[in-house]
Amino acid sequence: MIVVTTDHAAHDPDAGAPLEGRRYWEVPARADALLQTVRAAGHQIVPHGDRGLDPISRLHDAGYLRFLKDGFATWRQEGGVGPALRPGAFAVRHLDRLPRSATAQAGYYLATLSAPLLAATWRAAYDAAQTALDGADLILQGERLAYALCRPPGHHACTDLAGGFCYLNNAAIAAQRLLDGGTGPVAILDFDVHHGNGTQQIFYERDDVHYVSVHGDPATLYPFYAGYADETGTGRGLGANLNLPLPPGTRDDGFVAAVRTGLDAIVSRRPTVLVVSLGFDAHEGDPTANLAASSEGFRAIGAALAQIGLPILLVQEGGYIVEKLPANLTAFLAGLGA
């Protein structure tokens, strides 16, 4: 069963608030292409419901949520002009005090220019999180496979920080929902080409969620400051975080082999359910990345997932060649047997 985001199109920085000389790749057409693909294949599709803010607040900081919800309107009241609130300065090491004004808070809560705050951003991010929550509830109700078609994506969102097109961490929110529903230990497999630094940060000190990420080497690819192989968790979470970075240009063989390595690690820890951060931006030529996978690589990953025997919740992340998304999703679902 597929749960879809229904109110995301107005969050469109590329159309409403473009950066000079830079395209904003996370556009509404991405979700539209994926939705058309599953609809054409005859899958059962339902709109998301509304579980409220409480399950989101389980993981995200209250002040951060207030900023996402009210920051744009507050900025306008303070005299802000234009369609998007973007940081004019960033909180960095040694300069990280939380200021009062929305203009200054933008640099505290928004890590990159790729996560601007528009009038429609909160609604889109909130609805994406609700989509993931509905997907988790389907698994709790006994479904063996569910797909949360979320937009905007989420895996770069930390407890109190947006970045990389992400505002609320959909996969992490879904994982917490599963735990709260009594599933027992949860695993997250993330093969979006960019390391899910937000998901890692949220669960880094915990042992009830095993996070495994296959991604391009952060030495040369966003998010740059996280995703290295020596990051394995801390405290109770030691050993529950596995990063498998890949060199630029990695093709299907290396990409699929790394995912299989990650799945072996996941199975060895005996989780009860698997959340998949489903990214298609490892595809060759993706404008945000530097790997070289093909649709057949995603088909092979789907087949590997089909063999592990766990309930699976798919949560949509990246993939920015819109015209390639239908073939990638079709191949992946075919490999998965869906």
User: What residues are labeled active site?
Assistant: 156
The full DSSP string for 270-332 is --SEEEEEE--TTBTT-TT----B-HHHHHHHHHHHHTS---EEEEE-----GGGHHHHHHHH
In contact, 182 and 273? CB cutoff 8 Å? no
Place of tokens 């770069």: 156
d(CA 232, CA 280): 25
Q: Give the torsion sign (CA, 216, 206, 127, 120).
A: negative
Q: Where are the beta strands (DSSP E) in 192-289?
A: 209-216, 241-246, 273-278
Report which residue type is found at 325.
L
With 0-12 / 13-18 / 19 or more C-beta atoms within 10 angstroms meaning exposed / middle / buried, residue 232 is: middle
Tokens, residue 312: 């699976």
Provide CB contacts within 8 A for 283, sequence distance 6+. 291, 293, 294, 295, 298, 319, 321, 324, 328
Instruction: Report the SS3 class of residue 47.
Output: strand
Report which residue type is found at 188.
I
